[in-house]
Amino acid sequence: MISLLVVLWLVPLGGALAAWAFGPQLGRAAGWLASALAFVSFACAVVLFPQASNATGVGQTLVTWIPGYTFGLRLDALSLLWTLVITGVGGLIHVYSIGYMWTDRAAARFFAYLNFFLFAMLTLVLSDNIVGLLIGWGLVGLASYFLIGFWFERPAAVAASRKAFVINVFGDTGIMFAVFALYAATGSISYADIFARAGTLPVGVLVAVCIGLFIGAAAKSAQVPLHTWLPDAMEGPTPVSALIHAATMVTAGVYLIARFAPLYNISPTAQTIVSTVGGITMVTGAILGIAQWDIKRILAYSTMSQIGYMIMGVGVGAYQAGVLHFFTHAFFKAQLFLGAGIVIHALGDEQDVRKMGGLARRMPFAFWAMLLGTLAIIGFPFFSGSYSKDAVIYGALEAGHPLLYAAGVLTAGITAFYMFRMIFVVFFGPDRTEVPDELLAIPPPARAAHAEAHAASHAPAWLMNAPVALLMIPTVAAGWLSIGGNASPWYRYFGTMFGTSENVAGPSLPIPEFASQLIVYAVVTVGVVIAYRRYGAPAAQSGAIERLRAEALGMPRALRRAFFVDDIIAAAIVRPARALGSAIVEIVDPKVIDAGVRDVAWLAGALGLVARALQNGLVRSYALTIVFGAACFLAYFAVLGAGR
Amino acid sequence: MPLDLANYVALSAVMFFIGVAGVVIRRNPLIVLMSIELMFNAANLALVAFSRAWVNNAGHIFVFLVVTVAAAEAAIGLAIVVAVFRRAKNVDLDEVAGMHG
Amino acid sequence: MILFYVLAILLIGSAIFTVTQKSPVYSIVGLLANFLTLAALYFTLDAEFLGVVQIVVYSGAILMLFVFVIALLSSGIGPFSEGPNRLPRVAGPAALTTFVAFGFLAFAVLHAPLALPPAHASVSTVGPVGTANVFGSVGDFGVALFTVQLLPFEVTAFILMVAVIGVVLLAGDAAPQRTRGAHERRAKSADREPIVKAGR
B6 at A interface, C-beta within 8 A: no
Burial of C112 (0-12, 13-18, 19+ CB in 10 A): middle
Query: How far from C73 is each of A619, C29, C69, CA to CA, in Å?
Result: 20, 18, 6
Option in B24, B97, B99 nearest A623 (CB): B24
Beta bridge partners of A61: A72
Across the interface, do B93 and A624 touch by the CB < 8 Å criterion? no
Q: What is the pLDDT of residue C180?
A: 58
From chain A, pick out residues whose CB is under 8 angstroms from the CB of B25. Answer: 620
Identify the closest residue of chain B to A610 by CA–CA distance: B101
- A644 pLDDT above the threshold of 50: no
| Top-confidence residue, A45 or A66 | A45
Q: Is B90–C81 a contact, with Cβ atoms under 8 angstroms apart?
A: yes
CB atoms within 10 A of CB A244: 25
Q: Which positions in chain A touch B99 (Cβ < 8 Å)?
A: 617
Q: Which chains have 3+ CB pairs within 8 A of B?
A: A, C
Nearest to C97 among A616, A628, A637 (CB): A628
Contact status of B97 with chain A (Cβ, < 8 Å): yes
Q: Cβ of A634 and C86 within 8 Å? A: no
Is the pLDDT at A450 greater than 50? The verdict is no
| B1 band by pLDDT with thresholds 50, 70 and 90 | very low
> C173, exposed or middle or buried, with CB in 10 Å at 0-12, 13-18, 19+?
exposed
Q: Which residue in A has a C-alpha nearest to residue B27's C-alpha?
A: A620
Long-range (24+ apart) CB contacts under 8 A made by A162-166 are: A163/A228, A163/A229, A163/A232, A164/A229, A164/A230, A164/A232, A164/A233, A165/A141
Residue B52 has pLDDT above 60, yes or no: yes
DSSP-assigned beta bridge partners for residue A372: none
A330 closest CA partner among A52, A93, A11: A93
Chain A partners within 8 Å of C104 (Cβ) = 631, 634-635, 637-639
Task: Report mean pLDDT in 10-residue bins for chain C, 200 residues.
Answer: 90 94 90 96 90 93 92 66 70 80 78 63 63 78 87 93 89 62 59 57
SS3 A62: strand
A607-636 residues touching B, CB cutoff 8 A = 611-612, 615-620, 623-624, 627
pLDDT at A368 over 80: yes
Average pLDDT of span A51-64: 80
CB contact under 8 A, C104 and A631: yes
Question: What pLDDT, on the 0 to 100 scale, is given for residue C157?
Answer: 94
Give residue-wise pLDDT tens across range A88-107.
999 999 999 998 888 888 88
Q: What is the DSSP code string of A561-611? A: TGGGHHHHHIIIIIHHHHHHHHHIIIIIIIIIIIHHHHHHHHHHHHHHHHH
Q: Say if C34 is an interface residue toward chain B (CB within 8 Å).
A: yes
More confident position, A63 or C32: C32
Residues B91 and C52: their CA atoms lie apart, in Å, by: 34
CB distance B61–C141 less than 8 Å? Answer: yes
pLDDT at residue C200 in the model: 44
Q: CA A125, CA A635: separation in Å to the nearest integer? A: 75
Q: Which of C90, C93, C101 sits opposite A634 (nearest CB)?
A: C101
* Residue contact A620–C107, C-beta within 8 A: no
C145 and B61 in contact by Cβ < 8 A? Answer: yes
According to DSSP, the residues that pair with A73 across neighbouring strands are A60, A127
A640, burial (CB in 10 Å: exposed 0-12, middle 13-18, buried 19+): exposed
pLDDT at A382 over 60: yes
A151 Cβ contact list (under 8 Å, min separation 6): A157, A235, A236, A237
Q: Residue C14 half-sphere exposure, CB side, CA atoms within 13 Å?
A: 20
How many CB pairs (< 8 A) connect A and C?
37
| Amino acid occupying residue C62 | I
Nearest residue to A6 via CA among A38, A32, A46, A41: A41
Interface residues of A toward C, Cβ cutoff 8 Å, are 616, 618, 620-621, 624, 627-628, 630-631, 634-635, 637-639, 642
Percent of chain A residues topping a pLDDT of 70: 94
Residues forming a β-bridge with A58: A75
Task: Enumerate residues 335 to 354 of chain A having a beta carbon within 8 A of any beta carbon in chain B.
Answer: none
What CA–CA distance (Å, rounded) separates A244 from A238? 10
In the predicted structure, residue A20 carries a pLDDT above the cut 50? yes
User: What's residue A448's pLDDT?
Assistant: 40
Q: What is the torsional sign of CA A179, A183, A186, A190?
A: positive
CATH dotted code for B5-95:
1.10.287.3510
Contact yes or no for B24 and A624 at CB 8 A: yes
pLDDT digit string (tens) for A546-561?
778 778 777 788 787 7
Minimal Cα–Cα distance from B3 to chain C, Å? 9
Q: What is the CA radius of gyration of chain C?
A: 27
Nearest to A466 by CA among A98, A35, A101, A96: A96
Class of C1-73 in CATH: mainly alpha
Name every residue in C having a CB less than 8 A away from some CB of A: 86-87, 90, 93-94, 97-98, 100-101, 104-105, 107-108, 111
> Residue A446 pLDDT > 50, yes or no?
no
- Whether B56 and C110 lie within 8 Å, measured CB to CB: no
Is A624–C94 a contact, with Cβ atoms under 8 angstroms apart?
yes
Instruction: Enumerate the domain spans of chain B.
Output: 5-95
pLDDT of amino acid A453: 45
Whether residues C144 and B57 touch (CB distance < 8 A) is answered with: yes
**DSSP state, A127?**
B
Q: What is the pLDDT of residues A583-596, one digit of tens each?
A: 888 888 888 888 88
DSSP string, A419-481: HHHHHHHHHSSS--TTS-GGGGT--HHHHHHT-SPPPPP-S-HHHHHHHHHHHHHHHHHGGGG
Is A428's pLDDT higher than 80? Answer: yes
Domain ranges of chain C: 1-73, 132-169
Neighbours of A268 (CB within 10 A): 16
- Of A3-17, A208-222, C178-192, minimum mean pLDDT range: C178-192
